[in-house]
A and B are shown apart, each in its own frame.
Chain A
């Protein structure tokens, strides 16, 4: 069977981290704290399940009437002096942003957390043209200094200990080592304060786009997005087209939901709506506000009604936090912008089913993700559907032969009982070839025991009963 480069890298990384007990305890420890806080906040809702249903219905409306909502969103933004750009692909989004940055003759750029920026590899594009780009979210800043991708799309530096971060700061910033998270945070604060004030351009993402009023909404804790959108002369927001909500008042549900499910907070410290550049009578704010709307194959996912609800996602990260696979293989193994169950569902749509189908197979289908999702995305069923679609699109010949043989066997009682008998005999000799290349079941037995064939089958017992 041909195996893609992405699949083989995934397997290698996953196998390595699954055995890494230090990694496992670090992640479990971080996620335990999250789980306790999340449960406490969700239980404060008068009816969390009804809230999920309402949220799912609002997003269903938004996505299934996306054309009119998106047009309304753009119209309202433009009415308040915002420039709206439409980008078919990642390359087009990069071009649009680079053009703005070049025209403004920018020297330094400050970014608040923007996952669509990771998706289109924006930093590399900007750096290749010689622009100085600094991530301002603490976790993003840390992984940027390490030249690596975020480990988790909500908690980018979850895989690092304070010791590793202290060493990193000492090496990259020349600061004295410390084991206090507070001191480490203050180092980043001091360095980045200067960057905000010097930056010509601020780039942000958007958690929601409000059609009714033409605003983007950003949810954050640090205040870095607030500063990114306050001080530079130009603010560029990059937003996936699926982030739309119909009404401003919908945020009364979605903001606490994102806070509770995403971080175990009723509201994060700053939930901010931006409706344009500085308006007449306002003392500060950017002179120009650009919103770049990114498709990048989202319309491909939209065209699949079965999995369309994956576009309801509000990127809270709750499905990652409860996923037994994520907890063992870690965020980097996926090799995707969006990790965990939601990443495994959408990546094959955004970047090619055959290339990324292995993610759909890397699931226990336990359904913890579906159960926790605040907007009720049918995540584990979608993984199953992706498996089906991948095989239907490109059948694997030997699997087809194997399943044809099995179905023939199951349809012929005599052959089936002969098979059981042979299995019982063959099993006695299995230890002789176990862990050698002659073992036909090696993929299974490398790390697990083979279940034993019963000494007497049910059919035999039935026939011999008195």
Chain B
């Protein structure tokens, strides 16, 4: 505990002399605190106002990121679409969690299903061909999927299997990052889930000669199905 006081004491002593405020030279104006992050949305990339514009932007971002984005006309198409992917990739076993969207979809697959809800062995999940999860939101500005350890079946489901399939509803499509943080605050504060993750495209690396390779450690494929 002493070390905590040592460090905080050194900090208090150090900041007694004020530093120049950014963008100014010489003596600083009175020390003032920024009360909020209210101006941030104005600087970030532009997002359209209508659902159509946001959808188009999300689709374009997903395609740049090499993620698959599928917009279904009706919820009845979901089992059909999933069976189609399962057949194309030869899935033998999938991992998922219990949720209004995932339950029906996975039952229709007719494959062995590993559910994370009551705990699981990592080896079992590693042997699954896909992880199917719900999400908190989709973000048009960046083409991201927002998941948490509460909404998307824990921590490993979205990164351990080689293919992550995200199921979302149209109304979950948000405009920008500030909206996503506002949603998190409204939905969870103060008891946030232990993990909150913005997933932006499949796992990737450029560590060898700056050449893009997908599936470095996490999923090689990311499919976002929007109902």
Contacts and interface: CB of A to CB of B under 8 A. Distances in A.
Contacts of B141: 266
Contacts of A67: 8, 11-12, 15
Interface string A116-131: 0000000000000000
Contacts, number: 310
Contacts of B46: 46
B208 to A, nearest CB: 4
A368 interface: no
Contact of A222 (B36, B177, B189, B216): B216
A54 B43 contact: yes
Q: Which 6 A-B pairs have the closest CB atoms?
A: A223-B218, A56-B22, A222-B216, A230-B155, A51-B43, A139-B207
Interface stretch (B70-78, B104-112, B179-187): B179-187
Contacts of B209: 29-30, 161-162, 181
Given A161-B209, A283-B154, A253 B203 contact: no
B194 A165 contact: no
Contacts of A366: none
Given A283-B149, A285-B194, 17 more contacts: A51-B43, A64-B19, A86-B4, A142-B207, A155-B210, A185-B215, A224-B216, A224-B218, A229-B155, A241-B11, A248-B185, A249-B40, A252-B177, A253-B40, A270-B218, A275-B196, A303-B14
A29 B159 CA distance: 32
A428 B133 CA distance: 81
A158 interface: yes
A266 B45 contact: yes
A302 B218 contact: no
Nearest to B178: A252
B7 A223 contact: no
A293 interface: yes
Interface string B193-217: 1111111111111111111010111
Interface residues of B, number: 91
B194 A266 contact: no
Given A271-B200, A282-B154, A221 B37 contact: no
B159 A226 contact: yes
Contact of B97 (A33, A51, A273, A283): A283
A50 B42 contact: yes
A145 to B, nearest CB: 13
Contacts of A189: 215-217
Interface stretch (B48-56, B81-89, B119-127, B165-173): B119-127
A188 B137 CA distance: 32
A295 B191 CA distance: 29
A376 interface: yes
Contacts of B208: 138, 157, 160, 162, 165, 181, 184-185
Interface residues of A, number: 109
Contacts of A87: 3
Contact of A269 (B41, B42, B199): B199
A384 interface: no
Contact of A221 (B3, B143, B192, B205): B205
Contacts of A265: 200
B204 A222 contact: yes
Given A60-B21, A182-B213, A185-B208, A293 B7 contact: yes
Nearest to A76: B190
B153 A283 contact: yes
A354 B204 CA distance: 42
11 contacts: A46-B42, A51-B40, A60-B19, A65-B33, A67-B11, A215-B192, A231-B160, A270-B203, A270-B218, A284-B116, A376-B23
A182 B209 CA distance: 11
A312 to B, nearest CB: 8
Interface in A166-196: 181-182, 184-186, 188-189, 192-193, 196
A66 B33 CA distance: 12
A156 interface: yes
A13 interface: no
B103 interface: no
B203 A223 contact: yes
A136 B182 CA distance: 33
Contacts of B43: 45-48, 50-51, 54, 253
A88 B116 CA distance: 41
A64 B31 contact: yes
A30 B207 CA distance: 10
Contacts of B144: 267
Contacts of A266: 45, 61, 141-143, 200
A251 B160 contact: no
A185 B7 contact: no
B150 A192 contact: no
A11 interface: no
A23 interface: no
Interface in B111-161: 116-120, 122-123, 126, 141-144, 149-150, 153-156, 158-160
Central interface residue in B23, B178, B190, B200, by most chain A CB within 10 Å: B200
A51 B44 contact: yes
Interface in A96-136: 136
Interface string A298-342: 010011011011000000000000000000000000000000000
B185 to A, nearest CB: 7
A261 to B, nearest CB: 13
Given A60-B19, A65-B15, A193-B126, A30 B198 contact: no
Contacts of A309: 19-20, 22
Nearest to B34: A61
B100 interface: no
Given A67-B15, A282-B149, A247 B37 contact: yes
